[in-house]
Structure 1
Amino acid sequence: MDRSKNGVVQGIASAIGQKHREKDDCQKTTLTLEYAVHIKSSEIDSGQWDALLAQSPTATFFQSRAYYSFLETLPFLNPFVYAVSGNGTLKALLCGYVIAEKGLKHYFSRRAIILGGVMMAETADTQALDILLQETVRQLQRKVIYIEIRNSHNYSVLRHIFESKGLKYLPHYNFKIDTHDANLLSQIGKSRIRDERAAISRGASVTENPTDDELSQWYEILKNLYKNRVQKPLFPYEFFEKMRHCAFARFFLVKAEGNVIGGTLCICDTNNCMYEWYACGLDREKYSQYFPSTVATMASIRYATAHEIRVFDMLGAGIPSKEYGVRNFKQHFGGKLVEEGRFLYICNNLLYGIGTCAIKYVSRYSW
């Protein structure tokens, strides 16, 4: 299934959404009674969940049962899944987690993160989305300071529904690569291919089955990156150690001179998409001649191509109005720049202002 068809999403809104926007409030109240809200995974039929994942034009790995089950194994966060069904059929679903830092910082760092966006049935109406967002806010607003939905599809034609529930749209870039494009290699920057070849000729290699020690080395590089440059919280080592045993996870760690010098963690889903979730490399240190970030990303893209995974999602390229070095790096791999954005709901404005500063401080000084 071609995951890049944003036109299907537009069809949902134009063909069905307009119909319900024209109904008066009384009719909407009556219509709501046809729907059922599910706030626990046990309330959602697993067969319908899988079917929606396979058919929805806005499905991603981050709304799958596999992802939710993985989140349940992590003791440092609280997963949630909310869904809406109509006439006994699942219409819309989202999945995420609540997380906070330890100790005194806990109160100021409580947040709900929803990766991928909202998964909607092709026949879904805007009322199902309306109900789902309303229930999501109701369930989470007393538990967290803010709710953030990080979209993997374009919801622009449905933006008014999100905003009607108090969610503010935030522009955010991403790169997506069509690995079935016959011209992909010619679209990848010549310098990237040249650097990859040079690194391999100098002795760099890529391992997809890291040992405990190799994974630990890679995590230290990633942790230093998040502390000194990204300045955002990073999952503890346990997250990555458990990922190593998941069928959907793929590591591409770059080694040179007997050490791990960079690598990526990618996710492969059943919907023909591969996500580059985490990436890092010692490109500015003494291993710069091995171009570890380039080698790792190229290995990931080559894997997706070899396994006929149609879309390689680079999972973020920064805010459009700000210079972003990572965006400059990612733009040379043949991908298409898209703005799918994010939606933010602030539950407490005062705590949000304090909390965002606290998270940046914690990320830099509390390792």
Structure 2
Amino acid sequence: MRHHPFGNIFQTTAMYNVYNNTKNYSPIKLCAINEVTGEINGVLLGVTMREMKGLLGKGILGDFSTRSIISGGPLVSGNSIDTLSEMIFEYDKKVQKRSLYTEIRNLHEVKSLLNNVNNYTYEDHLNFLIDLAVSEEDLWRQIHKSKRKNINRATKAGVVVEEINNKKMIPVFYELLKETYKRVKVPLSDMTLFESAFDQLVPKNMARFFLAKNEDTYIGCRVVLTYNNWIHDWYAGALDNALSLYPNDCLVWHILKWGTENNYKVFDFGGAGKPDVEYGPREFKRRFGGSLVNYGRYSHIHSPVKIKITDIGFQLYKKCSL
């Protein structure tokens, strides 16, 4: 439903293909069809993710780490609550035996719809949206002066940003991601997610991969998703020993400039955490001058017992990652 007012990349066939070619990912796509006209009244694309490896070569944690994510959906014609409820009900039946929980990640204000869905609980979740329909000068002025200084320092130090045009560079990109995710002790999806995104999305102008480089060393990376004049910040990483060169600042500024030059309307920073929970990246994102929004998330726990076991397992995982 490309022309739906909330249409987004996460509810497209292209993203289904990305998930379908990613190790430990299983996409699920549902469509609501009008039996009389044959028209599509709704779409729902979600994915189950089994991201945590078992300890000591066993699959214990893996069996208890499968979650279900629905980003930017469901999309329904006419904001039909009945259609939306039926689609989520059918989706839950498909995932409840293999997922700990389902989380609906909203990209727009949809509380009037999703508040009517049974068994789903709302939680506040913040994000920053940056208006790209401005001049580069205005874009620069709205960035906090500390970030402007960092970007200028990095430029003087010789940091440059390159776009990845060859799949052979994805392992370089992935190694930078791995270092960051290891530092924050969060499991990272398999490299096939990014290889698949490069294969499926880049040729359709639906994704861009970037690397920050200083001299002969790649020091940072970022990938964004591009769809319907909207840029979605997806994954980012940087070398620990190169943070003083501000690769993250340079990459974001490069992407913002690119977005404005290519007539994109919005840069979506991809989330800024819960309002009442400390979250380091929130301050980083805030200083780029976007508007703070709270579209929230909805979740439904399919297995409360497994959730408790997983919480214990995740703490073990973090200790083993030290």
TM-score, normalised by the number of residues in structure 1:
0.78
Q: Residue by residue, what CA displacement relative to the aligned partner does 1:132-188 show, whole Å, maximum 9, x if unpaired?
A: 1111112211221111111111112123212xx201111111111110035332211
CA distance in 2, matches of 1:124, 1:340: 17
* Identity level (%): 30
Offset at residue 365 of structure 1 (A)? 2.8
TM-aligned CA deviation for residue 80 of structure 1: 0.6
Distance 1:228 1:351, change over 3 A: same
* Range with greater deviation from structure 2 (208-217 or 55-64): 208-217
Q: Between Structure 1 and Structure 2, whose CA radius of gyration is higher?
A: 1
Contact kept in structure 2, 1:110 and 1:144, CA below 8 Å: yes
Q: SS state of the match for residue 196, structure 2? A: helix
Matched, 1:161 2:101: no
> Aligned match of 1:250 in 194, 205, 208?
208
Q: How many Å apart are 1:242 and its aligned residue? A: 3.0
Alignment of 1:195 onto 2:145: no
Tell me: higher relative CO, structure 1 or 2? Use CA pairs within 8 A at least 6 residues apart. Answer: 2
For the pair 1:96 / 2:46, whether they are aligned, the reply is: yes
Q: Does 1:144 align with 2:144?
A: no
Match of 1:133 in 2: 88
Note closer, same or farther for the CA distance 1:76–1:227 as it changes in structure 2 (3 Å cut): same
1:23-44 deviation digits (Å, cap 9, x = unpaired)? xxxxxxxxxxxxxxxxxxxxxx
Matches of 1:108 and 1:58, distance apart in 2: 33
Equivalence for 1:63: 11
Residue segments in structure 1 that go unaligned for 5+ positions in a row: 1-51
Distance in 2 (CA, whole Å) between partners of 1:360 and 1:97 is 24
Residue 244 of structure 1, CA deviation? 2.9
CA distance in structure 2 between the partners assigned to 1:335 and 1:108 by the alignment: 37
Following superposition, the deviation at residue 67 of structure 1 comes to 0.7
Alpha-carbon displacement from aligned partner over 1:62-98 (angstroms, at most 9, x marks no partner): 0011111222222321111112233422222221211
Say which SS state the counterpart of residue 115 (structure 2) adopts: helix
Query: Counterpart of 2:225?
Result: 267
Q: Deviations over 1:193-247 (max 9, x none)?
A: 2221221121111110266675433322321222231x33211122223333332
Are the counterparts in 2 of residues 59 and 120 from structure 1 also a CA contact under 8 Å? no
**How many pairs are equivalent?**
308
Alignment of 1:179-328 (within 5 A): 179-182=132-135, 183-209=138-164, 214-229=169-184, 231-245=185-199, 246-247=201-202, 248-269=206-227, 271-282=228-239, 285-328=240-283
**1:364 Cα deviation after fit:** 5.9
Q: Is the 8 A contact 1:60 1:119 kept in 2?
A: no
- Rate the CA distance shift 1:175–1:361 in 2: closer, same or farther, 3 A: farther
The 1:306–1:195 alpha-carbon spacing in structure 2 relative to 1, beyond 3 Å, is: same
C-alpha distance in structure 1 between counterparts of 2:318 and 2:10, whole Å: 24
Q: Which amino acid aligns with 1:243?
A: A
Asked if 1 retains the 8 angstrom alpha-carbon contact of 2:33 and 2:40, the reply is yes
Scaled by the length of structure 2, the TM-score of the pair is 0.89
Q: Structure 2: where are the runs of 5+ without partners?
A: 54-58
